[in-house]
Structure 1
């Protein structure tokens, strides 16, 4: 029988996958990988802000991640060259966060847990936060699913259908900020983008419809989380990175399988 901490870790990984699967599919479809990376990097600045003001860390991460996501979405809507802009914003936010923590009086914290995650240290409160955030993201995406698909497929078609692509982009922005806030304890700021992208990319070659891809991405994410925990126990490897290693191996296998099926 699993120990309590392993049970919580497994449930946290599965709960996170419920959110990252469908959201990661949109990240892949819209080629928003760097967008997710920038939002995740900003989470460390949110940690620093929360520690400095005695606010809950999750709240600080949510505020800063949402601010970063809205900033990036606004710049994208104005036609900025996003590759350079996102690079500057992502690494600057990470650097400011790391430096800011050192100025918080009386705080001595190991930031490696926030950078790479510590899924084995998930508490019952963290577990409730992860599942609560996952349910909110799923509800948000389910509510706007068809509109998001239309806006992703073609913005002109979205306008013709009476939809506002900027509003749909904002929905994804909010969902992304929530996922960053709930995922940072599980896989860390540096690996959140991987948890969004790798399972969705692995599912793409095996899917014929958007709904199937989102469902497979959830399944692959959950298998990656459980497999990563097992790998961590067997080989005494870091749990968060181990989850991504398993996801990458699944991506390699599904990519090879997908090519064989289409070949």
Structure 2
């Protein structure tokens, strides 16, 4: 089966992706945006042109051409030729994997892609970017978590889990509260508290996501985005972006990887409060027992 919104199961090109990731730190800003788009949408590049990529990223076609030349390709035709060669030379994913025999027929490919998506999250977990994200959350006076439509529940769950590890964490419902949480009150401290927004969004992206990101940037709040592999707009507002692959061949885009990323984030933040976390969790258990929730 295919994903409803993205319409295709991803094809990976590890050699090409490695080349792009290796070049990324030294690329000019606009070319880096194109490279990031290619990494996130590598499975669809066979259907792209220089014009289509430039329109989606918001750069000129010349910028796309410059990047291709820098990487050693003679235009999109040369790139597509290399991708085709890499695809044909690939070893079967499940070759030698005894565990695949226990997977129901037709689900092996899905399992491989779910494993791959989780692996990509753990790679990002090991990157310097992850440390910046965790430090941003830890240093913020107030943390807000938001998500829209189908991922609203995921965002609410993340806010509650994160709230167990540190104080001043709230789920932000932009529609319900109309951002009253960000209004300054008369008795508020004179020094503006530092705020951090964790935004979760996947395709089809909520209209409010980019609008709220813009407001967040304008107000000087820190912004962290957890999103899917097709999102290229998030970096217009922040460098603190974690990408989770969602196209694993299921009828709906998978939330396995993005859920794992959020769980790892909460765990990393908790590590900064090791001395007070036990006391905090004991207090929480006391409240839940008093309420007879469990």
Q: Larger strand proportion, structure 1 or 2?
A: 2
Which gives a bigger RCO, structure 1 or 2 (Cα 8 Å, sep 6+)? 1
Identify whether the pair has TM-score above 0.5, normalized to the shorter chain. no
